[in-house]
Amino acid sequence: MATTITEVSGNKSFGGWQKTFKHDSGELKCSMNFGIYLPAEAKTDRLPVLYWLSGLTCTEANFAQKAGAQGLAAENKVIIVMPDTSPRGCNIEGEEDSWDFGTGAGFYVDATEDKWKTNYRMYSYVTKELPEVINANFNTIPDAMSIFGHSMGGHGALICALKNPGKYRSVSAFAPICNPMQCPWGQKAFNGYLGSDQAKWKEYDACELVKAYQGPPLDILVDQGKADQFLLQSQLLPDNLVAACTTNKTAITLRMQEDYDHSYYFIATFMKDHVRHHMRYLSA
């Protein structure tokens, strides 16, 4: 039985529609919003789908409003789906206490700690439930999907692709948290959601996952601003990802972009390259 979705908003854009829908999530046990850009062709034709995962403090709206992707999606005839970054309104003690843990900071893991494990299941939501909802309600090509994201969402995109060989045709990221086990953001999130057993942490760390990856060839594209304050604070660690990919002969292109920071101005600048990267695989 298809999940019921309710339209929250819709705006005509580049001949198609930027819309927001809400639905009751079985994985997260709460009402969730997602954004979706539907090119005009989505009315009549089945189209491939690009999933975008946003970063800390973001909602489903940030990408839609700031990335400048609608025109590119219309031109390339691809649907883009933008989920929220965490469950909302679960009334868990402490979920609103800090900006980098809890609300807006689901880290795309399935929590195992008692306090969080009922609701904080963003990994299963993004990889299983949401694609089922999208495929049931829109004109998609179910096996033509790719994934990309920013910062915490770049981490999410990388782990979703690496943990599900063949599910996503391609993956890319802007300023991803590449090695969460080795940075303060990741250590805080993993301790909170997964507990102190670092064997569990490895299941959600792109550097650990890529070393053991045995699926179809992946061609990873990463853009990183050289003036990104979080790069300078050792939160992102892209060199560790390159080293891990080299160990397992996984193709990665890391582009260090002079003077660019962590913002959506940076993302919008290189969005065309990322959409083009994905369309090479989605239109194959």
Query: Quick check: 130 and 34 in contact, CB under 8 A?
Result: yes
Q: Are 282 and 147 in contact (CB under 8 A)?
A: no
Distance of CA 133 to the CA centre of its chain: 16
283 has catalytic annotation: no
Full 3-state SS string of the chain:
CCCCCEEEEEEEECCEEEEEEEEEECCCCEEEEEEEEECHHHHCCCEEEEEEECCCCCCCHHHHHHCCCHHHHHHHCCEEEEECCCCCCCCCCCCCCECCEECCECCCCECCCCCCCCCCEHHHHHHHHHHHHHHHHCCEEEEEEEEEEECHHHHHHHHHHHHCCCCCCCEEEECCCCCHHHCHHHHHHHHHHHCCCHHHHHCCCHHHHHHHCCCCCCEEEEEEECCCHHHHCCCCCHHHHHHHHHHCCCEEEEEEECCCCCCHHHHHHHHHHHHHHHHHHHCC
Cα maximum dimension of the chain: 50
Q: Is 239 a catalytic residue?
A: no
Q: Can 228 be counted among the known catalytic residues?
A: yes
Candidates 86, 146, 151, 172; catalytic one: 151
Catalytic residue among 228, 274, 277, 278: 228
> Cα Rg for the chain, rounded, in angstroms?
17
From 262, 274, 277, 278, active-site residue: 262
Q: Which residues are catalytic?
A: 151, 228, 262
